[in-house]
Chain A
Amino acid sequence: MISVLNTIDTGHEDMIHDAELDYYGLRLATCSSDNSVKIYDIKSGTQTLAADLKGHFGPVWQVAWAHPKFGNLLASCSYDRKVIIWKESGEWSKLYEYTGHESSVNAVAWAPAEYGLVLACCSSDGSISTISYNQDGATWDVKKIPGAHAIGVNSVSWCPAISAELSLDPLTNKEAPKRIVSGGCDNLIKIWKEQGDQWIEEKRLDMHMDWIRDVAWAPSFGLQRSMIASCSQDKRVVIWSSDDNISWTPTILNTFDDVVWSVSWSLTGNILAVSGGDNKVSLWRENADGQWLCISEVAKGLGQPTNDERSTL
């Protein structure tokens, strides 16, 4: 059973498209079709609006917090083709604005902190960009994968840095090969590996029959097995698992009633949260036999004030 910790009336003037807590779980960032990003301080059942960030000129699709060792940084991406990195230093302000995409930027994801301050973003113009902060010159270096997916890229996720590869120093994992998984409108999932200066397509996973809406690489704590969850317009969620990051085995988690919009792994990588167009959220866990079972589901009306206090998943 899980219980409501906090209910936040966001005060957004339009639909919310993403919400994320920071590393410590003390701050909530939300973004909405009203073109704004809001940050709330969450403390024991209460919330205070800490910042209302206005800088986008279109609906904001996603927000992402960076690891706190880089400071309080938040990245947001929008329909207006921009990615903005916000920084708190007393006040929240724009640290960097990336305008290298030619269409709506659909997702942003920070790399594992071990790689430094690196942000991946993907756009409907079909390309993926990685923006990395260069400490020497205090500049941002941009690398782009043009034409990563035909029509557009909808989601991107990083391979965790903690890796079972032996040659790596467990303390830093600096040398771990950087990998990205992306999903796009060509119904494909692609795994990209950084080689030298470039991102090379390492693998493509073909299973879905419609646009991929979200991909998520499961955090691993060193176990050999890597897992990627993907969800699609075809109403299916697929779990891809691999022992070597090269051959991947798909398992269909479930076929849902409506399109599936997002998948999210828990920190220990064993519970998957799935949500989609039917306004439902469900949690899934793999049992000992390798079968995925739904452990709880929220039917609807999660935001309803009436059963808020009581509602349990």
Chain B
Amino acid sequence: MTVHWSSEIMKWEYRELQATAMSVDYSGNNVLLAGRRWLAIKHIGVDDVPTEIVKKYPRHSKYDAAGAEWCQTYPGQKLCAIASNQHVDVYEWRAGNDLMCICSLRGHTRVVSDTHFHRQDHNLIATCSIDTFTYLWDLRDTRKPVVSLSAVAGASQVQWNKVASHLVATAHDGDIKIWDYRKNSAPLHYISAHLCKIHGVDWSPHHEYQLVTSSHDGSIKYFDIHSARKPENVIMTNFPVWRAIYTPFGSGLLTIGVGWGGLPRVEQAGVIGIWIGGTLTHRLVGHTDTVQTMVWRPNTLPSNYQLVTWGRDQTLRLWTMHPSLLKMCSHYLPDDIENDDNNSDTSYASTVSSMNDLSVCDSKGHEIQMNKIVHKTTTSIDEEFESIREMANIEVTDMNIETRTCQIHSERNGYTANLQVTFPRNVTEQTIPKFSWLSGTNVDGATTIKILQAINRTANRKKKEGHRCLLHCLKTLATSIDEIPVKSSEDSDSMKSSQRSQSESENAGDSCIPFPRTCGAKWCGVSTLVVFNRPSNARRLSLKHETGTPRSMSSLSLTPALFGTGYTSVSPHATTTPSPTNASGFPQLHHRHASNSITTFYFQDRWKAQSRRAGSMRSRGSISGCTPPRVVLYAASSLFPLNRTLAEKYYINAETPVDMCERNAKVSSEEGEGELSHAWGLAALVAKSLAARPVDHFISSEESMAWISHPLCCNLVQALISHYAKSSDLQMAAMLTCAFSVFNDTSNSGSQSIISTSSYGNGNNTSPYNTITQYSEISADGWTLPVILRSNSCSEAENLNTEYSATKSEPSSACAIDEATVHLYHCFKRAYADVLHRWQLLYKRTEVMKLVRCKFDAIPAGDGVGEAAWECAWCGRTVRGAACASCRRLALRCAVCGRGVRGLAVACALCSHAAHAQHMLAWFAEHDTCPAGCGCKCIIEGNSLWKGVKYV
């Protein structure tokens, strides 16, 4: 779409006033221009002679007027406020002649950045300042503010909601706070809106809950205050946006930028852009320098909206909106039936011609004469309200004759619509009520605008016909909502996600991201404490109203140090808020980079001091000059009963528990661990008694029973183990369970033969994703084939898990421990193995892991454990157990003695012939070829096969 442009319809130039602020009064006919030396009130009317003079009032102040504002209520229409340095002067324009200062609001300690009269109560005015406070004043008692809203960052804007009278929005650097002034302790909503300073905030005229922000980062964002995390919509421009305001009609947006998208700044400085549906569709061209203020002229006809602007080129201009523009904003045109065709093709040059049917304004002020006087009977507000009482599907939630408002609630098809209807006070026959959406409405923005226009159209038609309109308007509302396609849950979801992805390019709102950690301690390895924290010279920025460290990252954006180059150090002249009036124009563009923020947060003092000293802008956020961040590792091994030296020296051999205990007792006493040595001594005693058990077989069973319950038996060991486990001495607990693992065995090993299986993990640690090759052997009667099983389980990378096999069948009833305890003991061993692994004591680890037994020991669980398969010596089937399932004989046959193999077997890696381990050893003591007669030189060739394999 091409961008149209149009010029102003009126222009006045007032160089001598040097005005820096402008405002239009309630009637829309008087413009206040405020400068350092003069206040001037200019009467504008469409038929005015452009040079017609103004009333000038001298103002003697050394400060520029940072803001000027007329009160926009009927009773207060003579009031205006001028912000000047730290105070705000309220003037009354008496009898259209005399401009008197009636009071001065003094309370702010820094320059006042914005003022805003309450939209209903003319006695109430909000002022905000970069001293971080926003005050509400009652003009009847101006000694001190009635309400004080405090924030941590200076406020640049204050705006009353256009629909709800209690809501006020303030802008603080990159964030927006929404307040209910009746509850002033904390904001209702907090919107982390922009990365840079927000220059302008404007509430939607149609929605209670929508506002638009414009920022120095070049973006314009629409927010729903109830879902403030993500903007409803974002317009990206490539220039800083000074103001963005809603059009009072439809869904448009007006912007003032500094510099203009891609165009040289000088040429385009004074251009006002009109955006419709996110695209720039129109430009208002005329100002030769930056536009400072733009306001919609109040009390104009719906068909004839006018804009009043004041620019740095010292000109006051008046603009009209072309009807086709209104149409594009999907604004209803009151008489669109008549001039529908005309409009569509009229060129923009004809703008002025549309001036003909403009309203003629009365110079006296508030009363507007309509050019089409309509007659008919007057309908009172009571009648209007009465008419809607018995409507179906519509609920009247609030009705107030005083304020001439009523609130409507309607729910249809899953859509909720909350509408507020306000009847203007000074009604003429044709004035239609003002409809606006309230919170809780879940119809999307574009549709609400469409519905609103439909309602307005109905209202306008009915008014023209001289009827009550409210009832019909609500009917229109109901039908409009019915016409919205019913949303299915999927649709709304997908819509949401698409919206989300759209807004994703923007920051998602730092207010939900936790405040960065700058101090931490982590236990790593076995007993190392890794600590990092801030250098001691870092001092946190003190936040007045918060105790402790803030919780979210958005707090970083509130630090005043981030914007401007130190408000404190500059002369008071320059301490006005950054605005186009300042010679330097806009503040420097500071990207709010989180890394800068966090450092600035802690090193703010330092930075301030330095910048003050240096008097220059040094790069912010750099921590040069502060100690570089460091990490300290603490050895805390003394806090833990884990001893690496002991672990290294401990002797593990579960086969000979007595020996193991005695040797370990010695080792620990050598290491000066007297207590442990003592415990090992006790364990040795138990081991001795237990080892002596087989001899006791011949003793009567009574005695045997007694022995089991003897305190020196298992109870002692168990007590020891649980003692060490409770005191977190994992090492000792695990070592004791290792020593007594033989006795822990609950399986009735006597009845079951255990075939030893070996799995050799190809433990190449650096490439863990390699499929691990496992060699296992098939041994048949005569000829065998090596089978390579491929594994794809990570856990098989556990290197060299050789399952321990109990060759001796212990009388298992000797020391019955319940299953749970056995399991627990295995867990100890596993955990200890992990510790050993971390210590890189890999052989010790393997020894411990060997003692970890699976409960389902005969059949290793699936692919979890290394597994061997062999060919049945009789039928040739591949067998995974001791005995072949089909021929019910022991599957593996010893190559030496020819009998079935139970217990340990050894296989040649090359020819895969297997035999009893003992037989094999005996055989190869004398021979070097395979006992099966295959000719394989097992010792020589078999060994060389393993050379390439590295055990880790």
Contacts and interface: CB of A to CB of B under 8 A. Distances in A.
B865 A185 contact: no
B852 interface: yes
Interface residues of A, number: 112
Contacts of A280: 519
B510 to A, nearest CB: 8
B522 A264 contact: yes
Contacts of B635: 2-5
Sort chain B's interface into a size bin: 35 or more
Interface string A124-167: 11000000000110100000000000011010000000111010
B525 A61 contact: no
Nearest to B829: A170
Interface of A: 1-25, 28, 30, 32-35, 42, 58-59, 61, 68-72, 79, 89, 102-104, 106, 113-114, 116-117, 124-125, 135-136, 138, 151-152, 154, 162-164, 166, 168-172, 174, 185, 210-211, 213, 219, 221-223, 233, 235, 257-259, 261-262, 264-271, 273-281, 283, 295, 298, 300-305, 308, 311, 313
Interface stretch (B108-116, B257-265, B790-798): B790-798
Contact of A104 (B508, B549, B837, B852): B508
A68 B824 CA distance: 25
B675 interface: no
A59 B628 contact: no
A117 B767 CA distance: 14
B513 A135 contact: no
B514 A222 contact: no
A170 B514 contact: no
B708 interface: no
Contacts of A28: 530, 631, 633
Nearest to B636: A2
26 contacts: A4-B633, A5-B634, A8-B631, A14-B623, A15-B595, A16-B518, A18-B522, A18-B532, A42-B633, A59-B594, A69-B765, A69-B794, A79-B594, A106-B513, A166-B820, A170-B855, A171-B830, A171-B852, A221-B730, A222-B830, A264-B520, A264-B523, A268-B730, A277-B540, A279-B536, A302-B531
A24 B517 CA distance: 25
A308 B632 contact: yes
A68 B864 contact: no
A7 B765 CA distance: 29
B629 A2 contact: no
Given A68-B765, A267-B527, A171 B854 contact: yes
Interface in B519-551: 519-536, 538, 540, 548-549, 551
B730 to A, nearest CB: 5
Contacts of B831: 162, 219, 221-222, 268
A52 to B, nearest CB: 14
Interface of B: 500-501, 504, 508-509, 512-536, 538, 540, 548-549, 551-553, 594-595, 598-599, 602, 622-623, 627-640, 642, 725, 728, 730, 765-769, 771, 792, 794-795, 797-798, 801, 819-820, 823-824, 826-832, 834-835, 837-838, 840, 849, 852-856, 861, 864-865
Given A21-B525, A22-B525, A261-B517, 13 more contacts: A4-B633, A16-B631, A33-B516, A79-B513, A102-B501, A164-B824, A221-B828, A268-B730, A275-B520, A277-B519, A301-B535, A303-B630, A313-B634
Contacts, number: 342
B513 A124 contact: yes
Nearest to B522: A264
Contacts of B529: 2, 273, 281, 283, 313
A162 B828 CA distance: 9
B801 A276 contact: no
Nearest to B634: A2
Contacts of B638: 1-2
Q: Which of A15, A18, A164, A222 has the most CB of B within 10 A?
A: A15
A176 to B, nearest CB: 11
A223 B526 CA distance: 19
A186 to B, nearest CB: 11
A28 B548 CA distance: 30
